[in-house]
Amino acid sequence: MRRHAQIRRYLTAFDTARLPQVFTDVLIIGSGVAALRTALEVAPALRVALVTKSGLTESNSYYAQGGIAAAIAPKDSVESHVADTLATGCGLSDEAVVRQVVEAAPECIRELVDWGADFDKTDGRISVGREGGHSAPRIVHARGDETGKEITSMLLAGVIRNGAIDIYENTFVIDLLAVDGAVVGVLAWHPRHGILIVRAKRTVLATGGLGRVYRETTNPEVATGDGLAMAYRAGAVLSDLEFVQFHPTTLYIAGASRHLISETVRGEGGRLVDKTGSAFMHAYHEMGDLAPRDVVSRAIVDHMRATGATNVFLDLTGLGTGVRERFPGIAKACARFDIDIALDLIPVRPSAHYMVGGVRVDAFGRSSLRHLYAGGEASSTWLHGANRLGSNSLLEGLVYGRVIGRHIAEDLAGASSRGADAGGAPERVYSDATPSTRGELHLPDVRDSLRSLMWRYVGIARNEEDLTEADALIEFWQSYVLDKVFEESVGWELQNMLALGRLMAWAALSRTETRGVHFRSDYPERDDEHWARHVLIARDTEPWFE
């Protein structure tokens, strides 16, 4: 039985009776595709507060390069997209959810076009590319490799124009407020107003992923898993935290921030080569450079180890000079290091990219806590199973954003007719968390140590010895960080990252097999007899399986 750290229910002391309060119908935390699509579905019928901890464009959605997977090409089909998603999910995808999302994809594309999305076209028709794991070209993209920017910007414009949506930027949500198992709002911090309460009839977590828990990641600075950690403290069920997808190709320049190199470049003919210029992927998988991401990531790590290299290379030189216009974002990022993608090899290696697991939700996006929903990367719908098929993430955010928005609107309309959620004096919530007097902390050092540990021991390849050591070290760090009461986001983020790092190690220890993105070198085979099931975790319980 693994020991639980003494994780506070709330990270700081407060009393709702003594704090300024904001009231709204629906509170949405985040500003990515899932958050924005939910807001647009709910408003103007209901009042919405959209809260994000940084600027509106700081999200994984905004920086997404690849595109949106949708079976819109004449030679493609929904059934093929379903089959590819299920195959990549390695036996853990929920087929009903897969069909729900995939069948909605063509309509989502039409809706985005109607709203003004400018997708790339060929001869007047929307162009589609191909990525690893897809049996047909079905990746809808915009401005080459700036699909996330195009979609998010378009949705943001709609949100900003909507008079029923109040936007709170640079506002850090510290904790969910819950009364009798129902979420009633959040405790938040604003740089000008300090700590405040946002009361809501329904709350939606669309806080994105947790890539910054790892030393090597494609994710922006904001991706510290805050939504998952606050949901865990509140008692929500989390699912599949062992499944972290590592993107095989990120620009690797020592000392520089990592930059994603979309796998679409391999779909259009780019090759992975080693330091001798030799292509190597066919030695690892029959699909070669278009193998699923987990296969490519492990192959790169194995090949680097075999050749004594710190990286491999992407070779786009065979695609001609037009590759610069086809992938302008990648070309610009590489040019900062004097790399011409049409002429030079691009140094790459894998990085943490996408949290497959998250807050467990049902077909309507509802969590195990009443009145709390989750969408996008913060949620676990069981769409992706043990591995996400490329470009299904923006699609999931769009589909479930609409699903969640519609369900909330219908639910609150029904509640109003029943006389529920009618108001009255809000219940008082308070926390008496007291600051610890034990020692001084250098937060950047603890954060860097955690990220390095997660990369080494809870990364692409895992084993019991490493995971056990990770669990023990994180527990030790938790013992003198989680008892502190911080007054700024850097401390709260670190507490969230420590909580999640240990939960991820627990989940990875529990799953004694290899499946999808979870590779156990000490259990290298898939074990359907014992492990065709999900790992679930909630506060103050041992992991259980379903």
Count of residues making up the chain: 546
* Element counts in the chain: helices (H) and strands (E): 15, 24
Ranges of beta strands (E only) in 302-357 are 312-315, 346-355
Q: What is the residue-wise DSSP string for 117-153?
A: ----EETTEE-EE--TT-SS--EE-STTT-HHHHHHH
CA distance 161 to 266: 38
In degrees, to the nearest 5, what angle opens at C-alpha 364 toward C-alphas 166 and 420? 65
- Using CA atoms of 351, 204, 32, 46 in order, give the dihedral in degrees to the nearest 10: 180
- Of the candidates 66, 458, 459, 129, the one whose C-alpha atom is nearest the C-alpha of residue 260 is 66
Q: Taking Cα atoms as reference points, which of 142, 147, 154 lies closest to residue 56?
A: 154
Query: Which one of 37, 212, 258, 293 is the catalytic residue?
Result: 293
Neighbours of 56 (CB within 10 A): 20
Which residue, among 352, 115, 370, 376, has the nearest Cα to 250 in the 3D structure? 352
Residue ranges of E strands in 87-243 = 121-122, 125-126, 128-129, 139-140, 165-168, 172-179, 182-190, 194-205, 238-239
Q: Tell me the two tokens of residue 482.
A: 């989680």
Preceding amide of 435 cis, omega within 30: no
Based on the residue annotation, tell me whether 138 is a catalytic residue of this protein. no
Query: What is the separation, in whole angstroms, between the first and last Cα of the chain?
Result: 19
Residues 6+ apart with CB under 8 A from 450: 213, 474, 477, 494, 497, 498, 501
Q: Do the Cβ atoms of 238 and 281 come closer than 8 Å?
A: no
Tell me which residue of 387, 377, 312, 316 sits closest to 350, measured CA to CA: 312
Extract the tokens encoding 514: 């290899």
3-state secondary structure 245-261: EEEEEEECCCCCCCEEC
Cβ–Cβ < 8 Å for 41, 402: yes
Sequence-ordered strand ranges (E) for 206-340: 238-239, 244-251, 259-260, 271-273, 312-315
Q: Are strands 259-260 and 244-251 parallel, antiparallel or unpaired?
A: antiparallel
Active-site positions read 293
